[in-house]
Copies of this chain bind each other. A is one copy, B any other.
Amino acid sequence: MEGGIGEVDHLAGERATALFDVDRMKVAWAGSRHAVDVADRMARLVASDPVFRKDNRTMLPRTELFKDTLKKAAHAWKRIVELRLTEEEANLLRLYVDQPGYVDLHWGMFVPAIKGQGTEEQQKKWLPLGLQGLETTATFDPKTDEFVIHSPTLTSSKWWPGGLGKASTHAVVYARLITEGKDYGIHGFIVQLRSLEDHNPLPGVTLGDIGGKFGSGAYNSMDNGVLRFDHVRIPRDQMLMRLSQVTKEGKYVHSDVPKQLLYGTMVYVRQAIVADASKALSRAVCIAVRFVGEWLKWLYTDVTHKLEAKDFSTLQEAHACTAGLKAVTTSVTSDAIEECRKLCGGHGYLNSSGLPELFAVYVPACTYEGDNVVLLLQVARFLMKTVSQLASGKQPVGTTAYMGNIQYLLQCTCGVTTAEDWLNPAAIKEVFEARALRMAVNCAQNISKAPSQEEGFYELSPDLLEVAAAHIQMIIVTKFIEKLEQDIPGEGVKAQLRNLCNVYALHLLHKHLGDFLATGCITAKQGALANQQLGMLYALVRPNAVALVDAFNYTDHYLGSGLGRYDGDVYPALYEEAWKDPLNRTVVPDGYHDLPPPAAQAAAQPLVQALIDFLL
C-alpha cells in the first residue's frame, strides 16, 4: 500500500515480474476482504494525521518521548469517540499508532468487551510468571477491617509492569495473604497507588520508572515501573475474592471455583504473541526486500571483480583468510552478545545492564570493512579457484595448505569409537579439514554443472556461504589447537583452555552435524559420541565459569553493567540506576496535566494494573 504518492516507482520493474494477483494475496494474508479493508482504512487514518507522526521518535529525549505518548493517547481516544469507531477499528487504530505505552492497558478499560473481563485477563497475563519468592505481604487487620500491604525488602519491590512508573492510578497487587497469623499464599488485591486529584503517589507508596531500555524510541515510550509499599492500608473488599474470601472476622474461606482454571487461559496470551510475530517479521522483510535485492547483487559482483582482478597468489590467500575471519568472528560475536543479553532475562533489556548498548555499538562490525555476506562469498570464490587448481598440481599456500592433502582427506574415515576419543586434537583437526575440503569439492562440482560459471556462482550462493564458513571454522579450531601445544604456565590454566577448545570444536561439530554426516566425515554414532562428550565438558566448565570471566580482568566501569558487577550485588545497582532516569526527575510527568478533556477524563478512571514480583 503506497503511503505518500510520489512521481517515481523505482520498484515498478520488480512488481512487473510478479506471477500472482497481489490484491488477492492481501486477502490471503489478512484472512478476509473485510480484514484488508478495515485495516487499510485505519492505517490511512493514522498515516494522514500529523499528530501521529513518528519520524522524529528516535530523536526525542525520553521525557519528550513520554509526553508525545500522552499526546497520542489523548488524540487517539478523541478520534475513536468522534468517529464512533467499533472495537475492531479502535484496536487497529492502536496498532497503526505503533507506539507502546501505558495506554495499551489504559484503553483496555474503555473498550467494552475487554472491560468485562479485565481482571481475569490480567491474571492470565501475570500469573504464570514469577510465582515464588514473592515477599510482599497483605496482613489482615480485623480491628479496622483492612489489609496492610507491605514490601519488607528492596528485593520485594515490584519491577517492570508497564504503565506503572508514571501513569497507573490503581494496581492489582499479588501478595502473600496473612490472616489469623497464618500465611495462605498468593492472592490479588486492588490497591490505589496515586491520588486521583493531583496524581501524586499516596502515603507509603514509592513509585518510579525503571529507566531507559534497548534502542532509541522502541519501548522507551512505555513507563515500566518500580513500586514498593510501606504498610499501606486497603479495605477488605479490595481483595480479589473469586477463588477465596476473608471474612470480617479474619476467617479464610475457599470458594468452589477450581484454581486451575486460571492457568488455562494464559494459552490465549501466548497465541496473541504468536500472531504478532508475523507482523513484526513481515515489516522487516518488507523493508529489506524493497531495498536489498538489486543493490546486493551489484555490490557483490562489483567488489568481487575488483578484487579478483589482482592475482597476487599469497596476497589472495591472506585476503581470503582475513576477510573470512572478519566475517565469522564479527557475526558470531554479535549473535553471542545478543544471546547473552537474552539469557539475562528481562533485565538484559534495561540499558543499565550495559548489554543493549554493547550490542548496538558492536553490531556494525558485521557491515563495515566489508559486509560479512559479501566477504564470505569472496572467500568461497577463492576456495573454488584453489580447488580447480589442485588438478593442475598447484600447491595451495597458508591456511589453504591442507587442501594439498586432497587424496587423503577425500577418503579418510574417522577413527573415534568412544566419547573420550573426541578429546584427541588430531581427530578433531582431521574431521574439520575433511569436512571443509569435501564441501568445497562438492560445491565446485555443482558449479561446473551450471550453464556458465557466473550462473553457477549465483545459484549456489547459499552453498558457497557454507563452504566458506566451514573453511574458516577449520582455521579457528586448528589455530586454537596449535596454541595449546605451547607452554601455558599457571595451575590449571592450560587444562581450562583445553576444555574450552574442546567445547568450541565439539559445539561446532554438533551445530553443523549435517555437514559432517552428509560428507561422510563421521558416522551418526560418532556424532552422538561427540555430543555426549560435549555434555561432559559443559559440566567441567560450569564450576569455573565465574572465575573464567574474572580472568578477562574487566573493571566494573568498563563493563558498565548493573548485572555484571564483580560482587554480584545486582539489585541495589539496578534500583539506583533507575532513579537516575530523567523521567524520574518529576513525580507527575510533564504533559500529564495538559491532556485534553476526554482523555483526561479517561485518565482519571482507575487504571487497573496487574503486577508481580518479576524475577525477584
Contact = CB atoms under 8 A, between A and B. Distances in A.
A212 B59 contact: yes
Q: How many copies does the complex hold?
A: 2
B292 A360 contact: no
A566 interface: yes
A552 B615 CA distance: 37
A43 interface: yes
Interface string A344-366: 11111101111111111111111
Interface stretch (A66-74, A236-244, A541-549, A586-594): A541-549
A491 B20 CA distance: 5
Contacts of A6: 567, 569
B356 A216 contact: yes
A302 B132 CA distance: 7
Interface stretch (A112-120, A163-171, A262-270): A262-270
B286 A26 contact: no
A173 interface: no
Contacts of A356: 58, 215-216, 360
A379 to B, nearest CB: 12
Contacts of A349: 363-364, 367
A545 B270 contact: no
A283 B553 CA distance: 10
B361 A218 contact: yes
A418 interface: no
B459 A2 contact: no
A367 B337 CA distance: 15
Contacts of A370: 128-129, 270
Interface string A464-502: 000000000000000000000000111111011100000
B4 A128 contact: no
Given A57-B357, A558-B43, A549 B96 contact: no
A122 to B, nearest CB: 13
A198 interface: no
A83 interface: no
Contact of A19 (B288, B352, B544): B544
A58 B553 CA distance: 24
Given A312-B260, A312-B264, A329-B277, A11 B131 contact: no
B343 A11 contact: no
9 contacts: A8-B567, A28-B490, A128-B303, A214-B363, A219-B361, A219-B364, A288-B341, A342-B366, A519-B524
